[in-house]
């Protein structure tokens, strides 16, 4: 394509978002470059790209978060632009500056805007200066639990203690009593340091069950700033979203005020890409929460109601193109209703415990108004090194009632076996009263999931009535399938000096693994997920999951009360506090911080 905005784009990410970016890039005539870790060598984003390059071992620090390797691959591949997707380097101003300094275009906002909004304290200060309402709370950091108590006296309880350098629910703890302040502060600070390398904490009043509503922003490098409507993202677990829909059902006055304030906030920092203004809505009031200076996971619902490919626009804006439409044209194009749900490898009945493992059967739903953004397939391994999302299921309809009906039907069609998923919970939510009437808030989901878990057999949410036959077409047989080897028996993939090639053999060697009759490749068995619900066995406190031990806050001989935290384990980008099942004295500590543990591993033993 003669007017392609870039010759070649490297996507510095993995999974479904990498494929999502590549699709828009290909439509614009841009060649695509994938990067991959050891764990992702067989990933769909690797197979879909025009070129693919190896980064390193599975841990993100050795692969997707290794700036030197990413820039080296970009230069080696001749990429003239880098798209970071979301997560990893997406909101890292230092990396953006390195990309620009290397003569490569950064497909995202200018680094100063990332800096302005990346630190939540500075962002609050900027919004106050711009006249945008913020959640009542401090605009400076707090040093310790004593300062948190002073803040509680000033702003009241419950109090949210939040990582200044973070987001996505990480480094956020809520203290509902004065006694909880010390634990909330230390836990929030620990997570802030672990995830963001920045232990700075600030406080704000915790609003009980508000709506979490965010405004989609689209801006170019010529001073044009537009909104693409708002989304309700209130259904969350662990302060992380599970269900998003657009438009949000909020008062008209709140909608108008939020749209005006969001555009004003973006203009105040000279924003020039896609981004999101996140707010809390309580009654007829809204408050700025934070700005995400990247494409969001849930951008899909805004695309569905507007008809605008936000990733395409993000690429064009990065190339210096002005927006091709006005605010009036965007609003005139709004149609219908859309809902996105996140299909995660988690057990909702066990406090959304991450469940790494191997997907055995995988069949996506289809039909009118149904979209699936995913990189999964039969045999897809969900590793503990990355987040737990398997897919995003997006549906749209003429109105919310039709959309809910379509979502229920689509979930009933979705087949995923081998790992527990959030699908049963999502199906139950479709019929839940506060969801049906859109009265839900941020505190709605977790108690509902807990109640379903108690009602289910053996502490698990009842299975959906899904068709488990072999009708339909597996992901592996679709256009973006398992790749060239499955599609062409004469082609194999070869990795040479860190770059992946497809090679056609005249005399094909015997394939790896065992083939079924007819040439179908057997799904590898790499071990199932950790599904144990027990965290204790007699005198032992047992790890309920595979993960990395972050902290052991006790010592041998210590007296522990029932419910005390005895270990913190990071699993699939979540911090999990492991609590004592009974009181006792610690006789033995079996693990140390930094150790990797499997499910059912004893952590400590009581006398």
Helix or strand holding residue 550 (H, E): strand 547-551
Q: Give the tokens for residue 374.
A: 């995913």
In which band, very low, low, confident or very high, does the pLDDT at 282 lie, cut at 50, 70 and 90?
A: very high
pLDDT at 486 over 60: no
Query: What integer best gives the mean pLDDT of the chain?
Result: 87
Please count the residues of the chain. 607
Q: What is the CATH number of domain 536-606?
A: 2.40.50.100
> What is the pLDDT at residue 165?
81
- 304-344: pLDDT as tens digits: 999 999 999 999 999 999 999 999 999 999 999 999 999 99
Nearest to 161 by CA among 204, 124, 131: 204
**CA distance to 256, 259, 383, 598, 600, per residue, from 230 (Å):** 10, 8, 33, 41, 43
Cα separation, 17 vs 219, in Å, equals 21
Q: How confident is the model at residue 564 (pLDDT cuts 50, 70, 90)?
A: confident
Architecture of the CATH domain 8-107: 3-Layer(aba) Sandwich (3.40)
Domains 8-107 and 211-459 share a fold: no
- Nearest one of 20, 269, 224 to 277, comparing CA atoms: 269
How many other CB atoms sit within 10 Å of the CB of residue 525?
Answer: 10
Q: In what order do the strands lie in the sheet with 81-83?
A: 105-106, 81-83, 8-11, 31-37, 51-56, 499-504, 491-496
The candidate with the shortest Cα–Cα distance to 25, out of 67, 75, 81, is 81
Plot region of 118 (φ>0 → left; ψ -120 to 50 → alpha; else → beta) = alpha
pLDDT-based confidence at residue 482 (cuts at 50, 70, 90): very low
Residue 286 structure tokens: 């809204």
Find out if CATH 3.50.50.60 is the number for domain 136-205.
no
Backbone φ, ψ for residue 326 (5° rounding): -100, 170
Confidence of residue 497 (pLDDT cuts 50, 70, 90): confident
DSSP secondary structure string, 55-119? EESSSGGGTTT-HHHHHHHHHHHT-SEEE--SSTTTT-HHHHHHHHHTT-EESSS-HHHHHHHHS
Instruction: Say which residue, 27 or 602, is predicted with more confidence.
Output: 27
If we measure between CA atoms, which residue out of 247, 141, 254, 153 comes closest to residue 199? 141
The predicted structure's pLDDT at residue 178? 93
Q: Quick one: tokens of 290?
A: 């934070």
pLDDT of residue 87: 92
Q: What span, in angstroms and rounded, lies between the C-alpha atoms of 402 and 387?
A: 31
Residue identified by tokens 């071992």 is 57
> Distance (Å, rounded) from C-alpha 198 to C-alpha 568?
19
- Domain locations in the chain as residue ranges: 8-107, 136-205, 211-459, 483-519, 536-606
pLDDT for residue 262:
95
Question: Are 216 and 303 spatial neighbours (Cβ–Cβ below 8 Å)?
Answer: no
Structure tokens, 166: 């973070």
Q: Is 380 in contact with 362 (CB distance < 8 Å)?
A: yes
Mean pLDDT over residues 362-385, rounded?
96
Architecture of domain 211-459: 2-Layer Sandwich (3.30)
Residue 273, pLDDT above cutoff 60: yes
**Which candidate, 399, 394, 259, places its Cα nearest to that of 328?**
259
Question: Band of the pLDDT at 415, cuts 50, 70, 90?
Answer: very high
Helix, strand, or coil (residue 145): helix
CA separation for the pair 41, 501 (Å, rounded): 12
Contact (CB, 8 A) for 145 and 185: yes
Neighbours of 509 (CB within 10 A): 7
CB 20 within 8 A of CB 107: no
Strand ranges inside 238-350, DSSP E: 240-246, 274-282, 285-292, 337-344, 346-347
> Which segments of 360-511 does DSSP mark as H helices, in order?
400-413, 423-430, 433-436, 445-455, 484-487
CA angle 87, 90, 94 (to 5 degrees): 125
């Amino acid at each position: 394509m003669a007017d392609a905005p870039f010759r070649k784009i490297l996507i510095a990410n993995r999974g479904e978002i990498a494929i999502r970016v590549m699709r828009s890039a290909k439509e614009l005539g841009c060649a695509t470059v994938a990067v991959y870790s050891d764990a992702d060598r067989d990933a769909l984003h690797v197979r879909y790209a025009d070129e693919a390059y190896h980064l390193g071992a599975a841990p993100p620090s050795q692969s997707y978060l290794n700036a030197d390797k990413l820039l080296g691959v970009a230069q080696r591949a001749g990429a003239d632009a880098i798209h970071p997707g979301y997560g990893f380097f997406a909101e890292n101003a230092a990396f953006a500056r390195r990309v620009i300094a290397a003569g490569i275009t950064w497909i995202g906002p200018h680094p100063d805007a990332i800096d302005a909004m990346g630190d939540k304290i500075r962002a609050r200060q900027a919004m106050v200066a711009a006249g945008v309402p913020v959640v009542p709370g401090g605009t400076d950091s707090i040093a310790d639990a004593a300062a948190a108590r002073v803040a509680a006296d000033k702003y009241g309880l419950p109090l949210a203690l939040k990582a200044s350098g973070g987001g996505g629910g990480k480094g956020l703890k809520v203290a509902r009593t004065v006694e909880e302040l010390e634990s909330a502060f230390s836990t929030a600070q620990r997570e802030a340091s672990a995830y963001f390398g920045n232990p700075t904490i600030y406080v704000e009043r915790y609003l009980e069950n508000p709506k979490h509503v965010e405004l989609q922003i689209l801006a170019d490098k010529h001073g044009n700033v537009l909104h693409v409507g708002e989304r309700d993202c209130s259904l969350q677990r662990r302060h992380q979203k599970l269900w998003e829909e657009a438009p949000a059902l909020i008062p008209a006055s709140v909608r108008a005020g939020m749209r005006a304030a969001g555009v004003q906030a973006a203009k105040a920092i000279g924003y020039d890409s896609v981004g999101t203004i996140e707010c809390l809505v309580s009654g007829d009031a809204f408050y700025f929460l934070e700005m995400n200076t990247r494409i969001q996971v849930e951008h899909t619902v805004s695309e569905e109601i507007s008809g605008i490919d936000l990733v395409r626009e993000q690429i064009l804006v990065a190339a210096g193109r002005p927006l091709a439409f006005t605010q009036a044209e965007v609003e005139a194009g709004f149609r219908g209703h859309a809902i996105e749900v996140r299909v995660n490898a988690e057990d909702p009945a066990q406090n959304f415990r991450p469940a790494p493992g191997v997907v055995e059967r995988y069949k996506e739903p289809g039909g009118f108004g149904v979209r699936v953004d995913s990189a999964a397939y039969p045999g897809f391994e969900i590793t503990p090194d990355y987040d737990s999302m398997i897919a995003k299921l997006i549906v749209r309809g003429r109105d919310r009632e039709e959309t809910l009906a379509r979502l229920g039907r689509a979930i009933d069609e979705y087949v995923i076996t081998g790992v527990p998923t959030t699908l049963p919970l999502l199906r139950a939510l479709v019929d839940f009263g506060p969801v049906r009437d859109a009265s839900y808030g941020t505190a709605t989901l977790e108690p509902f999931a807990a109640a379903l878990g108690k009602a289910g057999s053996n502490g698990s949410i009842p299975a959906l009535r899904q068709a488990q036959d072999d009708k339909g077409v597996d992901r592996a047989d679709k256009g973006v399938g398992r790749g060239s080897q499955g599609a062409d028996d004469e082609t194999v993939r070869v990795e040479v000096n860190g770059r992946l090639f497809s090679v056609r053999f005249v005399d094909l060697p015997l394939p790896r693994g065992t083939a079924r009759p007819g040439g179908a490749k057997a799904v590898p068995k790499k071990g199932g997920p950790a599904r144990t619900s027990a965290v204790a066995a007699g005198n032992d406190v047992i790890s309920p999951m595979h993960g990395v031990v972050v902290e052991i806050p006790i010592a041998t001989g210590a007296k522990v009360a029932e419910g005390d935290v005895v270990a913190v384990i990071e699993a699939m980008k979540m911090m999990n506090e492991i609590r004592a099942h009974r009181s006792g004295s610690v006789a033995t500590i079996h693990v140390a911080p930094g150790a990797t543990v499997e499910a059912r591993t004893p952590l400590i033993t009581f006398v």
